[in-house]
Amino acid sequence: MADQAVQRFHRQLNSGEFDEICRQGDEVFSQGQEHDELLHFLDQVHRKLGNAGAERRVNLHASVGTSGTFVTAQFTTQFEQAPAIETFTWRKGWNTLKLYGYHVQSDAFLK
């Protein structure tokens, strides 16, 4: 499920469907930041790194708590401009993963 969720995220990121990423995510995903700021962040990721290409999962962790079941996965992704390490956190539903958090690291952001 995590691999499919990342592929969907990358398709939407590559297509500029930032609002759709937010809409499909967990309500907490867009509550932590102002909606417009989150859209701007995703746009900047896409502008700086370009389209996402091949990704490889390097870590996967699941935890269960009173707030639900969370799945955290780390991927190395080859973007057009530079490689990046992406960390996704999802809240697991019955048969879905809803994006709860997203973090991206790349040397491209230092330039």
- Give residue 49's pLDDT: 97
User: Looking at the domain 2-110, which fold is it?
Assistant: Nuclear Transport Factor 2; Chain: A, (3.10.450)
pLDDT digits (tens, 9 = 90+) for 100-109: 999 999 999 9
CB of 79 within 8 A of CB of 52? yes
Instruction: Show me where the domains of the chain are located.
Output: 2-110
Q: pTM for the complete prediction?
A: 0.91
Dihedral (Cα; 72, 78, 80, 81), 10-degree rounding? 90
pLDDT digits (tens, 9 = 90+) for 19-64: 999 999 998 887 766 788 899 999 999 999 999 999 999 999 999 9
Instruction: Give Cβ neighbours of residue 88 (< 8 Å, ≥ 6 apart).
Output: 2, 5, 6, 9, 72, 73, 74, 75, 99, 101, 102
pLDDT digits (tens, 9 = 90+) for 73-95: 999 999 999 999 999 999 998 88
